[in-house]
A = this chain, B = another copy of it.
Amino acid sequence: MMTGWEDVRAEVLRRIRARDWAPGAVIPGEETLAVEFGVARATVNRALRDLAEAGLLERRRKAGTRVALLPVRRATLDIPVIRQEVEARGESYGHRVLARRMEAVPLAVAVRMGVAAGTALLFLETLHLAGGRPFAHEVRWLNPVVVPGGVIPDFDRVSANEWLVQNIAYTTGDIAFSAEAASGEEAAALGLCAGDPVFVTERMTWAAEAPITFVRLLHGPGYRLRTML
């Protein structure tokens, strides 16, 4: 029986897999499928929309719905607060603030944050610990302008990472992952040797045109960012 939108999605998926509907081909319209499956058009719409979000269908008004020629795989990454990430591994979390001062941003950071070169922002350096051992090294520039009330905590109790998530709700931004060789200082902080490969996460966040913070996070060897497809 075809009773719900998930049944419709399953059947459509089956036809795609079975090549009943070939890659690149236009599939029947929503109304047609609704009649065939004996459900309301809205139900078909929900199913097709879901498959389109997953990258298997391409939908355009008037042009209709096509089976994607080269399905782009879409994976959803959950990016938790570091404390949660550590505790999810069953280890105790801790962090140490290594530096906290106003400082002129380097040019590379100024460009990425969209502020004038030489602007003074709050510079923070934090070491995140898992089970007492170094887990991640964080370097952050924070725009003090965006802090509500202008009161910036010292981040000894709550890390900047967690404090920002709780206090500067829902920002936009981008994130990039890469592999780099650890510099001498970075290696020392993480207990590695200079030149060891580190997993780098760089995140820039904005709130309504105003830059909030730029973070560079380093994880040592053994760190894996995982997700389901």
Contacts and interface: CB of A to CB of B under 8 A. Distances in A.
A144 B76 CA distance: 29
Nearest to A196: B181
Q: What is the total number of copies of this protein in its complex?
A: 2
A228 interface: yes
Contact of A169 (B71, B173, B223): B71
A173 B221 contact: no
B77 A75 contact: yes
A72 interface: yes
A71 B195 contact: no
Given A174-B229, A203-B229, A166 B17 contact: no
Interface stretch (A58-66, A78-86, A106-114, A124-132): A78-86
Interface string A22-64: 0100000000000000000000000000000001100000000
Interface string A199-229: 1100101000000000000010111111111
Contact of A75 (B70, B76, B178): B76
Nearest to A178: B224
Given A170-B17, A223-B179, A226-B176, A81 B70 contact: yes
Given A69-B166, A178-B225, 8 more contacts: A16-B170, A56-B169, A173-B228, A174-B227, A176-B227, A178-B199, A178-B222, A179-B219
6 contacts: A73-B80, A74-B77, A173-B229, A179-B180, A180-B197, A181-B196
Interface of A: 13, 16-17, 19, 23, 55-56, 69-81, 84, 162, 165-166, 169-181, 195-200, 203, 205, 219, 221-229
